[in-house]
Amino acid sequence: MLILLSLLLFMGNCPKCPPGKIKLAVFEISGSGIEKEFLTTISDLLRIDLEDCGEYIIMSKEDMMEALNGNLSSTGGTEEISKICEKMKVSYAVTGNVVKLGNKLIISVALIDRWEKIRIFEDRLTASSMEDLETTIKRLAEALCKQSKAKENVTVDNITEAEAKPKLRRTSFSTGGVMVGYTFPTVAGSFGKKVEQTYDYDTYNSIYRVTGNVGPIPSVGLAYIYETSRYMGEVFGTQNFKDGTEFLSLGFSWYRFTSLEDVAPFIGGGLGMVWGSKVTGVDSTEHYDSWDTTYYYRYTENRESFDGMLLSVGGGVEFFRTYDFHFLLNVSYNIIFAAGTPNGLSIRFGLIYKKSGDSNCCSF
């Protein structure tokens, strides 16, 4: 019995193949009402992509034609194909079919196990154009190699036009809108002071005093984003303001995505300029009121202006990249090269939406 099993394995696999790889035959893709040359091209593309995946050793067309007397088609059922596989000494076979529906091509493939005489895997994808055909075949080859559905292996680089239309997704797009968030101080006193006003009922005077740091400062601004499969560029203008401290940031950032999946982290940085001012204290001046012959105090805020170059380093995560809505989370550390300026950690978030067609709208 062991000798028989060893013989079967030897016959089913290529003796010169690398360990772990199985010999596989790809039959010509069939299709009704479609030119033979077109079907041959699809079959050749499938052979190349299956060879590139590294899981199988693909039997050449010449060897198949020699074994099958020049016939590369598979018109029979699963059992008949299994017998042909036995004749060609391969373990697996791939068959396929193309159906033309209007301007679309629906391509189906199946992986047949010679020993079990069953279809162990099958899948299909739709190509909306000739330009989309190469991506479709590549995705189906990946599905056959991994034996997992093609829809589970979608990335922004291999998404088909047919899949992109319902989700309003393009390989690259631009969008503009509003970004909101907070900047948190990381250096004590860098965000200025807060002036509080109270009333002294004994002297009938308003009393002003300076308290501690302003704390987290909310920000709102405009952003223009251009995104490709691997990179995202952003031009931004952000206004920060709270308790007398305010500053305007203008600049650009560049990020690289570390993943092509729907949830894609990114890292990078940016450069820009900042202009602003902050409260540093208050001055009081005594005045005499000749009408009621009383003294009172006049208070004036002391403000300090600043400007300098902005350097930011950070990253974030973009969610749902293959859908029409994208959720962004961006965290960066900002350094302003000017004395006493607000260095801090910036957290921004937003929702980007791209409409179908060539129009783009909006992020916030």
Residue 250: is its pLDDT beyond 70? Answer: yes
> What are residue 239's DSSP bridge partners?
220, 248
Dihedral sign computed on CA atoms, order 71, 73, 74, 75: negative
Dihedral sign computed on CA atoms, order 99, 64, 117, 151: negative
**Pairwise CA distance, residues 156 & 261, whole Å:** 7
Long-range CB contacts (< 8 A, 24+ apart) of 235-241? 236/179, 236/270, 236/272, 238/179, 240/183, 240/276, 240/342, 241/217
> What are residue 222's DSSP bridge partners?
178, 237
SS3 of residue 81 by DSSP: helix
Residue 199 is encoded by which pair of tokens?
């009333």
Express each pLDDT in 102-140 by its tens digit. 778 899 999 999 998 899 999 999 888 777 888 889 999
Percent helix, strand, coil in the chain, to 5, is: 20, 50, 30
- Determine contact, residues 128/39, Cβ cutoff 8 Å: no
- For the chain, how long is the longest CA-to-CA vector? 121
Q: What is the pLDDT of the chain when averaged over all its residues? A: 77
Express each pLDDT in 280-335 by its tens digit. 766 666 555 555 555 555 666 677 788 889 999 999 998 887 776 778 888 999 88
Count of CB atoms within 10 A of residue 3's CB? 7
**Pairwise CA distance, residues 117 & 134, whole Å:** 30
Strand (E) or helix (H) holding 360: none
Residue of 251 and 187 predicted with greater confidence = 251
Mean pLDDT of 261-275: 91
Which domains can be identified in the chain, with CATH numbers? 2-153 (3.40.50.10610), 173-353 (2.40.160.20)
Residues 149, 154, 160, CA angle at the centre, nearest 5°? 100
Express each pLDDT in 64-102 by its tens digit. 988 888 888 877 788 889 889 988 999 999 999 999 887
